[in-house]
Structure 1
C-alpha cells in the first residue's frame, strides 16, 4: 500500500512545529553565571608594625604546598569532612597556592616582620625560609547549593628554618572554622579569607615570641652566598 501523501503546506507546517518544539526544549532555563572570588587578606591589626620586627635579615616565603583539588580554582565543599566536591560555578580568581603565598608576603611586608621579604627567584641566600602546607581550604554544609554553606574551614602548617635549611626555628599548625551566617557561597569565600587572615595573625604572634639567631651569629665558615 503506498505511503500516505500530504499536501506540501501541511508537511511544511509539521516540520515547522517540530522545529519549534526542539527549540523550546533546547533553550530551557539559562545556565547559571560563573562567579570569581579574590582571596583578600589584610595585615592583622593585633600583629601590626608597632610590635616591632620579628627578626633582622631577609625572609623568603617559598611557594605554598597545596596538592590535588585544593589547588584548583573551583571552590570546594564538604559534608562529612572526608569527601570533597567542587562547586560548578564558583571559582577563585587565581590558584590558591599563588594567592596564599602572595597574601603572606604582603602581610609580612606590611607589618615590618623582617628587614626584607622575598620569594623564590631572589638571587641571594635568605637568612630565613618560610614553608607552608595547606591542609584544608573548604566550605562546609549539608549540600553544594548556593545557600547551604554553614562554615568555612582552613588549616595551614608552617615551618621556619634558617637560610641553609638546617635549623628549624618554628613549626606550627593552625586551623580556623568561622561560621557563615547568610549561607551563600560568596559569604563563604569571604569567610575563607577571614580564616586565612586569622591564621596569619596567629602565625605572626608566634613568630614574635620565637628567639631567632641573627645573621651575625651564624657559625664561622657559613657566609651568606
Structure 2
C-alpha cells in the first residue's frame, strides 16, 4: 500500500490565506473605477477685432446664411489624414462646436471690417437683404502626409443677388498652413491661421464683387 503524504496544516493554512488575498485583490481591482481621459476642447477664432471701415451711404446689406459643411466635416470631431481618401479622428481632442457653426460669426466680423456693406447679418433664409452669402466648408483637416504636417482649410462661397437669386460671383478659397507641432494642439493653431487667411481673402472677394457687379434695385 502506498503512503500518502499529507500537507502540514500550517503550510496549508498559509497557502489558503494567500489564495484568499489574491482573490480579494482581484475583486477590489475590478471594483476600482478606471481613470477617465477627458477630451480637450478647442475653438476657431478670427483675426484680432479692429474698428470697421465706414460704409458708404449707398452700401448694400449682406445676409449671411449659416455655413454648411461637406459630409464628414459636419461634427465636433477634429479630423486628420494619413492616407488619401481616409478620414480619421483624434480620440481625446474636439472642437467646442462644429466648425461650420463657429465660422458664421467669424464671417460677419471679417466682412464688416471691409466697410463694403451697410449691415452684415448672420441669419437663416427667411431674412432679406440686397446680397446673400452662401458658404460650405469643403475640408478642414490635419494632414500628416508631409513633414512638417499641415492643416488644409477649403471654403466654397457664393455671393447672390437676394432679389433675383442670380449668382454674382463664386470662388473656392484654400489655405494650407504648417503645423507648429505634430499633435492636435499644433494642428489647432495651424487651423486658426488657415481660417484667418481664408476669411481675409473672402472679405476682399465680397468687397470687390460689390464694387464691380450691378445690383438690382
Match of 1:130 in 2: 133
Check if 1:108 corresponds to 2:107.
Answer: no
Question: 1:42-87 CA distances to partner (integer Å, 9 max, x unpaired)?
Answer: 1698xx845966x812111111121332011110000123110111
Which has the larger share of strand?
A: 2
Question: 1:154 offset after TM fit, Å?
Answer: 0.6
2:138–2:156 CA contact under 8 A, matched in 1: yes
Match of 1:162 in 2: 161
More displaced, 27-36 or 165-174? 27-36
Check if 1:98 corresponds to 2:97.
Answer: no
Question: 1:19-57 CA distances to partner (integer Å, 9 max, x unpaired)?
Answer: 324655887984543110011111698xx845966x812
Match among 79, 82, 85 for residue 79 of structure 1: 82
- Whole-angstrom distance in 2 between the partners of 1:152 and 1:22: 47
Match of 2:182 in 1: 183
Unaligned runs of 5+ in 2: 1-10
Question: 1:138 offset after TM fit, Å?
Answer: 0.5
Match of 1:213 in 2: 214
Normalised by the size of structure 1, how large is the TM-score?
Answer: 0.76
- Whole-angstrom distance in 2 between the partners of 1:138 and 1:26: 40
- Whole-angstrom distance in 2 between the partners of 1:41 and 1:165: 32
Match of 2:4 in 1: none
- The number of residue pairs the alignment matches comes to 206
Match of 1:221 in 2: none
1:139–1:149 CA contact under 8 A, matched in 2: no
Q: Tell me how large the CA RMSD over aligned residues is.
A: 3.4
Matched residue of 1:159: which SS? Answer: strand
Question: 1:208 offset after TM fit, Å?
Answer: 2.7
Distance 1:175 1:123, change over 3 A: closer
2:52–2:112 CA contact under 8 A, matched in 1: no
* Structure showing greater Rg: 2
1:149–1:185 CA contact under 8 A, matched in 2: no
Match among 41, 45, 51 for residue 46 of structure 2: 41
Distance 1:95 1:165, change over 3 A: farther
Match among 5, 8, 15 for residue 20 of structure 2: 15
Match of 2:203 in 1: 204
- Whole-angstrom distance in 2 between the partners of 1:197 and 1:81: 26
Unaligned runs of 5+ in 1: 1-5, 219-225
Distance 1:37 1:167, change over 3 A: same
Match among 50, 57, 64 for residue 61 of structure 1: 64
Matched residue of 2:93: which SS? Answer: strand
